Amino acid sequence: MRKCLIVANWKLNNNTNTIKKFFHELKKNDHIIINTACHIAIAPSLMYLYLIKKYTINYPNIDLAAQNVDIHLSGAFTGDISAAMLKDIGVRYVIIGHSERKKYHKENNKNIAKKFEILKKTGLTPILCIGENQQEKKNGQTESICATQLETIFKLLGPQAFENAIIAYEPIWAIGTGITDTPENIQATHNFIRNYIAHYNTSIANQTIIQYGGSVNHTNINNLLIQPDIDGVLVGTASLTASTFTKIIKHAQKIKYSSLKINNI
């Protein structure tokens, strides 16, 4: 069974005060957070990774995630952070290929594939974001765009690339807009992605976690997670406060693990 992975992508938000508040609030919901079978990760600004590490010490199911990584492991690259450094401080997942990094930092598929490669070599888990923009959606190019983004990775790393990696399908037009596609359409794209990997390797395709991201909140999570190929979610805005994030986890627990008897949820 693929695990349900819920990742909070805090982007360029939060600070020591709001993070303190977040964990104070989260503590009130410990019965949900500690007992859930869902796996959780928080991707703060790099500045606050240590702080999150400190706050999550008593939450074995909350992992550290990073929002970016450099393609080099060390050297004269001012301002960059390497996979080795992230691993050193206990990071498990690294988000790469996010559309905001493509837009504001001109990242492209080739450069993202290199990041994917360095993460795999270092033993970190890439969360590879893929997805189409609004025009591409209108043109009916969703599948071909996702295929191209996946193919760059396959070309560089071969069929084993997605073993223990995670894909986040994030339609760019759905990010931060409050607009989402129908759960059925999203499921169809997730199924396309899984089948695409299956052309290379069926067992890897069956174990690959495919998350959905783009305006996920506690009101739409149920209809998303009942879809068979939506294994988890990458959450931006709704992950910024503990109350909304906890609601998402509570719903995910119910949908994905309802057969498990967990007290007080």
Catalytic residues: 98, 170
Q: Is 234 an interacting residue with respect to ligand PGA (CB under 6 A)?
A: yes
Cβ proximity to ligand PGA, 42 vs 204, nearer residue: 42
The span of 18-26, 105-113, 228-236, 250-258 binding ligand PGA (CB under 6 A) equals 228-236
| Residue facing ligand PGA at closest CB distance | 236
Cβ proximity to ligand PGA, 44 vs 213, nearer residue: 213
DSSP letter string, 149-162: HHHHHHHHH-GGGG
Letters for 9-28 (x = contact with ligand PGA by CB under 6 A, - = none) are: x-------------------
- CB 186 → ligand PGA: shortest distance, Å? 13
Cα angle: 2, vertex 236, 3; to 5 degrees? 10
Report the candidate in 252, 255, 216, 209 with the shortest Cα–Cα distance to residue 234: 216
Out of 214, 231, 242, 247, name the contact with ligand PGA by CB under 6 A. Answer: 214
Q: Is 215 an interacting residue with respect to ligand PGA (CB under 6 A)?
A: yes
Q: Residue 197 CB: number of other CB atoms within 10 A?
A: 22
The span of 158-166, 170-178, 221-229, 251-259 binding ligand PGA (CB under 6 A) equals 170-178
Cβ proximity to ligand PGA, 208 vs 217, nearer residue: 217
Length of the chain: 265
Cβ proximity to ligand PGA, 36 vs 67, nearer residue: 67
Q: Is 216 an interacting residue with respect to ligand PGA (CB under 6 A)?
A: yes
**What are the helix (H) ranges across the chain?**
16-28, 30-35, 49-55, 83-88, 99-105, 109-122, 134-138, 142-157, 183-200, 202-207, 221-225, 242-257
Q: Fill in the amino acid letter for 190.
A: H
Cα angle: 163, vertex 121, 205; to 5 degrees? 10
Q: Is 67 an interacting residue with respect to ligand PGA (CB under 6 A)?
A: no
- CB 48 → ligand PGA: shortest distance, Å? 17
Out of 123, 158, 176, 228, name the contact with ligand PGA by CB under 6 A. Answer: 176
Cβ proximity to ligand PGA, 7 vs 62, nearer residue: 7
Cα angle: 107, vertex 109, 113; to 5 degrees? 105
Paired tokens of 28: 């009130």
- CB 191 → ligand PGA: shortest distance, Å? 21
Report the candidate in 91, 172, 182, 158 with the shortest Cα–Cα distance to residue 130: 172
- CB 213 → ligand PGA: shortest distance, Å? 4
Are 53 and 45 spatial neighbours (Cβ–Cβ below 8 Å)? no
DSSP letter string, 85-109: HHHHTTEEEEEES-HHHHHHH---H
Residues found near ligand PGA in the complex (CB under 6 A): 9, 170, 175-176, 213-216, 234-238
